Amino acid sequence: MPRPPSSSAPSASPAVSAAEAEPLGAGDFARLIAACGPFEPRPSVAVAVSGGPDSLALTLLLQDWLAQGGGRLTALVVDHRLRPESEREAEGVAALLRARGLAVRLMRRPYEPLRGGWQAAARAARYALLTAACREAGILHLALAHHRDDQAETVLLRQAAGSGPDGLAGMAAVSERPEVRLIRPLLPVPKARLVATCHAAGLPFVEDPSNRDPRFSRSRLRRDPRLADARWVRALTGQALVHGLARATRERAAADLLVEGVALHPAGFARLSASVVGAEDALALRALANLLACVSGAQWPARTARLQAGLTRLRAGAPQPFTLGGCRLMPEADGWLLVREPAARARATLHPGESLVWDGRFFAHLPADAPRSLSVNALGTRGWQALVRQVPALRAAGLPAPARVVLPLFSDLEGPVAVPHLGFLRRDWQAVPLACAFRPRRPLAPAEFALSFTVA
């Protein structure tokens, strides 16, 4: 059996009070996890475990909390394969957790050389593995061990990068993703309490040496002497909480405006009314950013300067179609039609038993017993013309032409197999439950920024 990781001593912090160096109790954690709810009866939760004191303390606390409610915890351990020792360390962490009676899934990142921005790429690959494991197991909640010190570092990094008020709110207690909820119950908790929780339980842990690597901005930031002063960290994260409250208020107002002024179609296009465009600037810009990101499938909203220019154009009447944030905006009698811009189209292959998100907008799944793989591409004008020659009745589908051409088309070597949003499915595939639904990376009205408060 691989040896469990060895223990590390906690670093002292001159302004940490005695209360902030005590182990977390069950009552403390019950209040923390409540801020990440609601949870279903007997919830199934996954926790990402690196082997450090933060994730091990979270695992211990979750295990006890779930046991009281009849829930189930699955520990997810990822071998990132960035250092020669990572395989041994990951196996040691997995063995330690199994010895505590936990269900453990050990995953290894496929080896790919990572060059520029490799730390961000490795983090993205880790999240992809964690999310896929939750999806396969039908787990809705993925717990992450970010704590108060991490929150302070995040805020400082965003300050240095010139982030606006939304960014200065730091990390949210809950982040809703298309397939899983990321929950961070420990955000109000200083790391010293998590180290103490591990020591009290006799849990050995390791510290990843990359956390001290001066090549990385977060590692360099940790040398800032202010971060050793718990009073200063409390003040900084208190400011983040104020920004978070304001952000949640703004997001709630934008969601209300979008409900009132946008009609979103299941085929991935939208109609925008003048009520959104006529709102006060900050609110209209936020709502427009959400709408464009949703329809375009973008991972991030358009830049503020471009949004402002587009909003000005809409307010002026915009008699001609124009593009903005990956979308085409076309005037209609009582507003505007928004569709995905056809210039940036994605190609993909969907294999039996697999799922994918095509073009950042449509979730598709092919059952394992499907006869063969399918290519996925935008229908396009030529594809539409060829399709209606075969099936003239599709002309009655009633979708706007600009929205039709950017729909996903599934094909095999014999030609078109399906355009689900037009109701087309080739006869020899009609017994195969091919699934396809509009599920963009960014929903029209994302879940409100979730706040976490200090444990009483």
- In order of their start, the domains of the chain are 19-246 (3.40.50.620), 269-340 (no CATH), 348-438 (no CATH)
Note the pLDDT of residue 42: 95
Tokens of residue 22, six digits: 């005590």
Check if the beta carbon of residue 269 is closer than 8 Å to that of residue 438: no
Note the pLDDT of residue 218: 67
Distance of CA 212 to the CA centre of its chain: 26
Starting at the edge strand found earlier in the chain, the sheet holding 44-48 runs: 103-108, 72-79, 44-48, 141-143, 181-183, 174-176
Check if the beta carbon of residue 325 is closer than 8 Å to that of residue 293: yes
Give one word for 308, left, alpha or beta, with left for phi > 0 and alpha for psi -120 to 50: alpha
Block mean pLDDT (10 aa), the chain, length 456: 37 57 93 94 96 96 96 95 85 95 93 64 87 94 96 92 92 90 96 95 79 62 80 91 95 95 97 95 96 94 94 91 95 94 82 93 95 96 94 91 96 96 95 95 88 68
Question: What CA–CA distance (Å, rounded) separates 262 from 254?
Answer: 11
Note the pLDDT of residue 202: 92
Name the burial class of residue 164, with classes exposed (0-12), middle (13-18) and buried (19+) by CB atoms within 10 angstroms of its CB.
exposed
Note the pLDDT of residue 332: 93
Name the burial class of residue 402, with classes exposed (0-12), middle (13-18) and buried (19+) by CB atoms within 10 angstroms of its CB.
middle
Question: What CA–CA distance (Å, rounded) separates 346 from 243?
Answer: 37
Tokens of residue 206, six digits: 């390791």
| 0.95 surpassed by pTM | no
Note the pLDDT of residue 14: 44
Give me the DSSP letters along 294-313.
Answer: HHHT-SSPPPHHHHHHHHHH
Question: How many residues in the chain?
Answer: 456
Amino acid making up residue 68: Q
Check if the beta carbon of residue 449 is closer than 8 Å to that of residue 247: yes
Question: What CA–CA distance (Å, rounded) separates 376 from 356?
Answer: 10
3-state secondary structure of 273: strand
Tally of CB atoms within 10 A around 81 = 17
Note the pLDDT of residue 9: 36
